[in-house]
């Protein structure tokens, strides 16, 4: 995501002192929980996140009301655009051989499928098994939303 001088970026920069504490606390808590869930292996988190992020179908609109679609066993898994190990390595900056080992671990957990052509997709089991971590992510994002709303209210009162 390129950094541009947008109205939103300017707002965050001007109100960073009000937003940063919520971000730092929430992000740290999320990383701690992810580290525990992934047995201390944050590269494993990054590989799974990269596969998940890079395989979203084009028509998927990221919205919290669609969370159930990600965790329902009956939803088709084939609507993902598969990615290969080399692409994960290039995107994440993790060496290819390390990505290969991490994918093997993710497959053993049942969180990633690897097709005959080597293409990777995230399984519904990953969403189901990581529901607590998804809850922590939602808590983190909700805390950020409150921080943004508070900063907006403070900025509006300064401009009155």
The pLDDT value given to residue 71: 46
CB contact at 8 A, 22 and 143: yes
Question: pTM value?
Answer: 0.79
Instruction: Give the list of residues 6+ apart from residue 35 with CB closer than 8 angstroms, or none.
Output: 41, 42, 45
CA 77 to chain centre: 18
Note the pLDDT tens digit of each residue in 89-125: 999 999 999 999 999 999 999 999 999 999 998 999 9
**Alpha-helical segments (H) within the chain:** 7-14, 16-37, 42-54, 67-71, 85-92, 96-108, 124-129, 131-158
Note the pLDDT tens digit of each residue in 30-65: 999 999 999 999 999 999 999 988 776 655 555 544
Query: CATH number of the domain at 22-155, please?
Result: 1.10.10.10
If you average pLDDT over residues 140-153, what whole number do you get?
94
């Amino acid at each position: 995501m390129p950094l541009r001088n947008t109205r939103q970026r300017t707002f965050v920069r001007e109100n960073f002192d009000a937003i940063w504490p919520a971000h730092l606390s929430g992000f740290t808590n999320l990383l701690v929980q992810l580290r525990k869930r992934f047995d201390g292996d944050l590269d494993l988190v990054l590989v799974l996140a990269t596969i998940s992020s890079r395989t979203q179908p084009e028509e998927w609109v990221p919205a919290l009301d669609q969370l159930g679609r990600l965790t329902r066993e009956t939803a088709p898994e084939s609507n993902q655009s598969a990615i290969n190990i080399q692409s994960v390595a290039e995107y994440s900056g993790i060496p290819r051989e390390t990505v290969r080992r991490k994918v093997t671990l993710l497959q053993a957990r049942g969180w990633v499928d690897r097709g005959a052509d080597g293409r990777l997709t995230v399984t519904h089991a990953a969403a189901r098994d990581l529901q607590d971590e998804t809850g922590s992510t939602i808590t983190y994002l909700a805390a950020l939303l409150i921080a943004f709303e508070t900063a907006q209210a403070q900025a509006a009162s300064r401009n009155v």
